[in-house]
Amino acid sequence: MVLHENALAYLLRFLTGLDEEALLRTFRIGYTAEEEKFAHYDLVFIPSGFFESEHYGKPSSIPETFQEIDGIPFLYGKPLVERRGDTVLVHADLPASAFFFLSRYEEICRRDIRDKHGRFIGRESLAGRHGLLCRPLVDEYGILVRRWLRSAGKDIPEPEAKVAKLWVTHDLDAPFFCKSLRAVARETWRGKGLLYALKVFSGKIQDPYDTFSWLFHEEESRLANLSFPWQTIYFVKAGGKHPHDRPHYRLHARCVKTLLRQIASHKVLFGLHGSYSAAENGASALEKKVLETFLKYRLSVGGHKIFLFRSHYLRSREPEDFRKLEKLGITDDFTMGFADMAGFRLGTCRPVLWIDPARGVLTGLVLHPLTVMDNSLYQKEYMYLNEEKAQAYCAGLFENTRRFGGEICILWHNTTLLGNAYPGPAVPWARSFYTHILDYLANMKNPDTDSEKHPLRCPL
């Protein structure tokens, strides 16, 4: 496989952890084994042969374990650093190791690792098996790269440790528990019973899934003085025929339209929540069109085009599916977290342009790392943490993100924050936990001037 020139240039630049143009022009980094070219660079990575190997794209190209430099794990090359004149030569193939995580290379090699929903399994990923999902390894490579550049005489500062942005996101899977006669029939037949369904349907008790006013109140009041920018996104479904797409709500139903109007009256963005069935093909142009038309003509969110995307069930099955998203005009994907384990699926806490691992080309699609989803923490088949452990785990992910100037993206469902009226198995601490998370974010020191003294946190 040939890694295209602009993909390599992007990779090397991303590895530095720096994005100031002026600073980036003060040094040169090479990726070459040609000795006569070494003097052109301040820092040279010696290629391990990963990209040209006959094993490329096969399971045999994935090492069993990690090697380390100064406690930072990497995958390809050797843990050896030497000097040639003024140039630092690094035999650890950090570009290949970073590519492994950022492009989701592992997922094209191990197509056999998928769960019943067709998703790659976090616990079986290489980082997951070695307990490294809570560390943004690619960002840690930046510590080494900047240190080596300084040893080559370059005046490279550490980037400020600050959260660049907080994305507060909600997937609208089931806006209401029981707002239609069909839902009453469903609950009577195999749910909470006719009496409870009728009480909700008639408005005698509040619909337990209708937690939106509570969400807006808690988020807007607790994050009012946040020291970094934040944005709420609602990912809305606009189709889907699979049983896992139930309940099939219609955007034009009066209660849904009223709810979306209420949501739109706040400072939110809308994105497409690609359905379970559309994920078979990556995404659906029809769903995108339906949502855009609805927002434009029914909600009067004038000229609204959908650029933001997350797949239902985090069902991003194959890395190649990203190509379809890009073709649809999606610019930003927010699916990249493992459902079964919260952490850094992309090996980074910073948004990154996707490099297609099958073609070696840089695309225009931005992948935003999903830091944590509520269900990953709670559900029995996922992490199944108690409140205290869930708090500690999230704090670790947030602190590690701030350390490297990344983005925090949280995904909470209106249906996990059930009101007390719901007579079913809900997580009893769901609401207090969410407010704790919001308060934790609101109290984060930004920037954190002591960050280098703090070790990276991996509480589990």
Q: Binder to Zn ion among 173, 219, 318, 333 (CB under 5 A)?
A: 173
Give the shortest CB-389-to-Zn ion separation in angstroms: 25
Q: How far apart are CA 226 and CA 212, in angstroms?
A: 21
* Candidate ranges 17-25, 64-72, 172-180, 435-443; the one touching Zn ion (CB under 5 A): 172-180
> 167 and 233 in contact (C-beta within 8 Å)?
yes
Residue 79 contacts by C-beta under 8 Å, 6 or more apart in sequence?
67, 68, 69, 91, 92
* Candidate ranges 20-28, 155-163, 307-315, 418-426; the one touching Zn ion (CB under 5 A): 307-315
Q: Binder to Zn ion among 42, 171, 245, 333 (CB under 5 A)?
A: 171
> 282 and 321 in contact (C-beta within 8 Å)?
yes
Pairing of strands 308-311, 332-333: parallel
Q: How far apart are CA 124 and CA 339, in angstroms?
A: 12
* Residue 16 or 275 with smaller CB distance to Zn ion: 275
Give the shortest CB-396-to-Zn ion separation in angstroms: 25
The radius of gyration of the chain's CA atoms, rounded to the nearest angstrom, is 23
Give the shortest CB-170-to-Zn ion separation in angstroms: 10
Q: How far apart are CA 331 and CA 294, in angstroms?
A: 20
Give the shortest CB-313-to-Zn ion separation in angstroms: 6
Give the shortest CB-51-to-Zn ion separation in angstroms: 36
Give the shortest CB-274-to-Zn ion separation in angstroms: 9
Give the shortest CB-190-to-Zn ion separation in angstroms: 22
Q: How far apart are CA 180 and CA 197, in angstroms?
A: 10
* Residue 171 or 340 with smaller CB distance to Zn ion: 171
State both tokens at 39.
């003097």
Q: Across 153-250, where does the E strand assignment appear?
A: 165-172, 230-236
* Residue 122 or 240 with smaller CB distance to Zn ion: 240
State both tokens at 135.
């560390």
Give the shortest CB-339-to-Zn ion separation in angstroms: 10
* Candidate ranges 89-97, 163-171, 252-260, 367-375; the one touching Zn ion (CB under 5 A): 163-171
* Residue 171 or 332 with smaller CB distance to Zn ion: 171
State both tokens at 136.
């943004």
**Does the footprint of Zn ion cover residue 374 (CB under 5 A)?**
no
**What type of residue is 273?**
H
Q: Binder to Zn ion among 119, 222, 312, 315 (CB under 5 A)?
A: 312
* Candidate ranges 34-42, 75-83, 170-178, 364-372; the one touching Zn ion (CB under 5 A): 170-178
Size of the site for Zn ion (CB under 5 A): 3
* Residue 107 or 171 with smaller CB distance to Zn ion: 171
3-state class (DSSP) for residue 28: coil
**What type of residue is 344?**
F
> What counts of helices (H) and strands (E) characterise the chain?
15, 15
Q: Shortest Cβ contact with Zn ion: which residue?
A: 312
Say which residue the tokens 């490297």 belong to.
404
* H-helix or E-strand spanning residue 92: strand 87-92
Q: How far apart are CA 18 and CA 25, in angstroms?
A: 11
* Residue 55 or 250 with smaller CB distance to Zn ion: 250
* Residue 106 or 173 with smaller CB distance to Zn ion: 173
Give the shortest CB-73-to-Zn ion separation in angstroms: 33
* Site residues (vs Zn ion, CB under 5 A): 171, 173, 312
